[in-house]
A and B are shown apart, each in its own frame.
Chain A
């Protein structure tokens, strides 16, 4: 398996533009998470899905942010309009059902490489 695949790896855009980040989770993982990481705030959970259904979007900063998961192999995080304070690294992660800890470590959260967003 190629792991969690994110695109683009880097995005530089101007304030007011729409940004779309994409994620392909690991096949068979039921959960998909979107995180944002900044120096000031660390890793923050934005939203997560279970079986393509959004479960908790309380971490989404405001209405400018939206996320979709149209099928089990694809998710998008959209920012419209973007602002300089949205500059961060956005990580997508996926996991199998996480209520059963697996000491081997196999059933844990796996991150994509991240999308570094810079809004000028």
Chain B
């Protein structure tokens, strides 16, 4: 199967910058999604990368390197409300159905 690896937990300070890394298997890869999930809630979409490079959306940016099987989510000017789990998900193959999620990174933002 396709393994998606990301750190289990991270801690950062309010106002700081944090980078959450994700690695995936490159064979058959189509694109990479990042989702945010607050405790007890459904995941919500943050970003989608298909091409190499950095996509910036306000305080959040996402980077993709297709050749290295690597992505990261960068969160700037951290706020307490950013405490959540961040899910990396890779799409594979011709079928839209094969979207594999990592186990998620639980980010705790401290004052």
* Co-assembled chains A and B: no
Interface residues of chain B, those whose CB is within 8 Å of chain A, are: none
| A binding-site residues for B, Cβ under 8 Å | none
